[in-house]
A and B are shown apart, each in its own frame.
Chain A
Amino acid sequence: MASASPLGRVLRSSTTTFTFGSLDNPDLPAFGALVAAEAGPTWVYGLVYEVLIQDDPFVRQVVAAAGELTAERVEDMRQRRQVPVEITALTIAYRQDDRVYQRLPPRPPAALQPVWACDEATTAQVLAEVTFFRTVLNAAHCPSEELLAAALRRAAACKLPEQQQAYLVNAGRELARLLASDLPRLDAILRRLAS
């Protein structure tokens, strides 16, 4: 269902979001990617919307120092230093008894639970319905339009090539229905889906 190794572990969670600590590496999940963590008998799914690379005084110090930054130091900080990253995902669905429900889970994932990246098949399955649009659009402290567009594009990419356009058009229509009275917002999302 997911990546071979977990992306990180849950640091804190709530009914609507969960944040996990990860290391800055190429496998860092992208904005809009679907991640999953267990919460008791359920798997909780969330869309990554905030990647917080924490303030690193060490890097700041090295970079701000007078004199030239040697290549070795640059490469060291780039490749070897494991910058702790906090990633927050917006909870949109959960799986229980092999069925996926696009609504808030009964319980959020506990601290230190491993968080996994979801593969294409899972992403396609979890994001098949359109119910989660509202969850994303109504989320506070979240760049909803960008997130929804990114998640939809990733979900479309999980489909067969001949189905992708149809998936996006259908999603666009659903959005047109939901956001009928907020056209600037609708337009913002649709443009991001179109390009």
Chain B
Amino acid sequence: MDDFAHPDAYLASLRAEADHADIGARLGRVVAGSLSSGLEVRLDHDRRLEDLAVGRYVVMKAGGRLFFGMITDIALDSTHPAFEKTPPDLDNDFLRQVYLGTSTFGRLHVSPLLELDEHNRIPRPVKTIPGHYTPVTTATPEEVAYVFGTEGLRRDADGRTVHYFHIGRPLEMEDVKITLSLERLVARSSAVFGKSGTGKTFLSRLLLAGIIQSDVAVNLIFDMHNEYGWAGSSEGATRTVKGLKQLFPGRVTIFTLDPESSRRRQSHPDATVTIPADRIEPEDLEMLAGVLDLSEAQVGAMYVMRRRLGPGWLGNFMNDDWVDAYGGNDTGTGSSGLRALAEDLDLHQSTLAALRRKLDRYWRYEFITTRSDEDSVSRILEYLQAGRSVVLEFGRYGNDLGAYLLVANFLTRRIHQRYVTMKERAFGAAGEEPRPLVVTIEEAHKFLDPQIARHTIFGTIARELRKYNVTLLIVDQRPSGIDPEVMSQVGTRITLALDNEDDIRAVFMGISGGQALREVLARLDSKEQALILGHAVPMPVVVQTRPYDTEFYRQMGYADEEELEARFQQNQALMRGRQRNRLT
């Protein structure tokens, strides 16, 4: 248009632009698209597709607004189909310069994410789109930093004080720190997804450290593979990394299910967790139906027994002596033991026998006690209310999915119940509300698959949002296995690389316009690149995750022995100095 009227001037400006740094330079113009399906951008002819990537931010200024978008697809296009069928002679320099970029050109698909009013500059969701031929430029670090804000404690747009936690850096921008709002992260259930080996654990640990450091919530972490508590494994130079307790000595408590394992690993547990047998309810076991392969009859039997035999039903049922003794030697009935029990309960003996067999393994677990005086639930709750996060190590039981499910579900149900009580009490009176709690579970799809979801407390927690101040942090590699209804309640989703199509699609469940980011997710590097979208971030972002290393420890406030010593010396010197002053 205006460029072509004066070719000399246009060319001069092109050259000037090219000399300019690449960041902030123009990529092309908006030529088509819609709010619902995204924008099509036609690349300028001096821009190479090879220099661009999905996941990068672009900026469009139009109508007094600044639009932020993300490149979500890259394509080739031409003015005429013939260019595909019969490519022109590109050995000729002149022809190449003419055709490339003019008749054949690159096209970007850009998802509009955010708009800022040019004057008051408050980020808002996109309600319109830039008009035809709006120039599209790569976003500058300043612009990106502006949207995400600086790390640390500061006021948000609504004037509230919020902790912004630095989670990583955007692609190709080493100077920008991407932050997420920890308050918003814990206000809803969140998720960390990624196929195995992508670093989910590292990333979760990072987030949990942030939550702990900022004291935005307390955490209850069901540590399946003993990665969070004292130390975690690493493929890097140091074979281990510091766990949450090392980073935050006074604020993290380690409970263990397997003291022997913890001792061996020297993970410094503070207490052992046991599950009293007579507290175990059929509901607690019902969710194991898939794992244990319990039939409906078997599940039904448990409920019958509970009703008929009372709280100690399980202890008795699993006790050989009790069972054998059942029915006494009443020869009148002609049956004893299991058979008598079955008759009495009007159940099939085979049902009971099978049930007994299946439950036997768990019954052997050492963490199941017959002593009813131990109340791990209350203990955990005390710590939580005191502001201390709790990591529950599973030791060897981490490899047993059934154990993991049973313990996590058992504890969480009861803690959640207490939370409900506390919360309702707080409504009525001016009593304190329970501290916001984040429950971290791994292999979440086992808890949350459509079959089980309604039976586990986790499904409930996810669905009730934050009604009772409890939310989840789900760590999982099969998001497609998670009940869609639950998934749609997950506020913030942090996704590392996934390669299964269903998993990729599932990540965007319940997020409007989310499918546009599909390509971005599909193209993540297999390590240390994550797509973050949802409640905790102003707009979806691809980051190179922050490393979990000594620098990170330091920023979390960790000081090693030498430093502590040095600090102590310093303080001493200071005090002595003061004393001396006083004396004189």
Contacts and interface: CB of A to CB of B under 8 A. Distances in A.
A176 B79 CA distance: 9
Contacts of A165: 94
B7 A176 contact: no
A194 B92 contact: yes
B80 interface: yes
A163 B11 CA distance: 10
A180 B79 contact: yes
Interface in A151-170: 163, 165-170
A94 B423 CA distance: 86
Contacts of A169: 94, 97-98
Interface in B68-90: 79-80, 82-83, 88
A187 B5 contact: no
B95 interface: yes
A183 B82 contact: yes
A77 B105 CA distance: 56
A28 B539 CA distance: 69
A168 B103 CA distance: 16
Contact of B102 (A177, A181, A187, A193): A177
B346 interface: no
A170 B10 contact: yes
A168 B94 contact: yes
A172 B45 CA distance: 13
Interface residues of A, number: 26
B397 interface: no
Contacts of A175: 98
Q: B4, B6, B10, B45: which has the most chain A beta carbons within 10 Å?
A: B4
Contact of A173 (B6, B83, B92, B98): B98
Given A129-B5, A187-B88, A176 B103 contact: yes
Contacts of B11: 166, 170
A52 interface: no
A99 to B, nearest CB: 14
A12 B79 CA distance: 41
B45 A173 contact: yes
Interface string B386-404: 0000000000000000000
A125 to B, nearest CB: 12
Contacts of B95: 172, 190-191, 194
Contacts of B45: 173
Nearest to B101: A173
A191 B92 CA distance: 9
Given A163-B8, A167-B7, A170-B10, A190 B79 contact: no
B4 A130 contact: yes
Interface string B82-119: 11000010001111011101110000000000000000
Nearest to B94: A194
Contacts of B82: 183
Contacts of B4: 130, 170, 174
B98 A190 contact: yes
Interface residues of B, number: 23
Contacts of A176: 79, 98-99, 102-103
A183 B82 CA distance: 8
B95 to A, nearest CB: 6
Contacts of A181: 79-80
A189 B45 CA distance: 20
Nearest to A183: B82
A130 B99 contact: no
A3 to B, nearest CB: 26
A130 B3 CA distance: 11
A158 to B, nearest CB: 13
A10 to B, nearest CB: 31
A168 B94 CA distance: 8
A44 to B, nearest CB: 22
Given A166-B11, A167-B7, A193 B79 contact: no
A180 B103 contact: yes
B80 A193 contact: no
Nearest to A167: B7
A135 to B, nearest CB: 16
B114 to A, nearest CB: 33
Interface string B1-32: 00011111011000000000000000000000
A171 B8 CA distance: 11
A130 B7 contact: yes
Nearest to B98: A172
Contacts of A183: 80, 82-83
A130 B102 CA distance: 15
Nearest to B12: A166
Nearest to A174: B4
Contacts of B10: 170
A165 B6 CA distance: 15
Contacts of A166: 7-8, 11
A140 to B, nearest CB: 25
A128 B506 CA distance: 57
Given A130-B7, A167-B7, A180-B80, A190 B102 contact: no
Contacts of A172: 94-95, 97-98, 102
A21 to B, nearest CB: 36
Interface string B315-333: 0000000000000000000
Nearest to B78: A180
A168 B8 CA distance: 11
Contacts of A174: 4
Report, nearest first, the 3 A-B pairs whose CB atoms are least far apart.
A172-B98, A180-B79, A194-B94
Interface of A: 128-130, 163, 165-177, 180-181, 183, 186-187, 190-191, 193-194
7 contacts: A128-B7, A166-B11, A170-B10, A170-B11, A172-B95, A183-B80, A194-B94
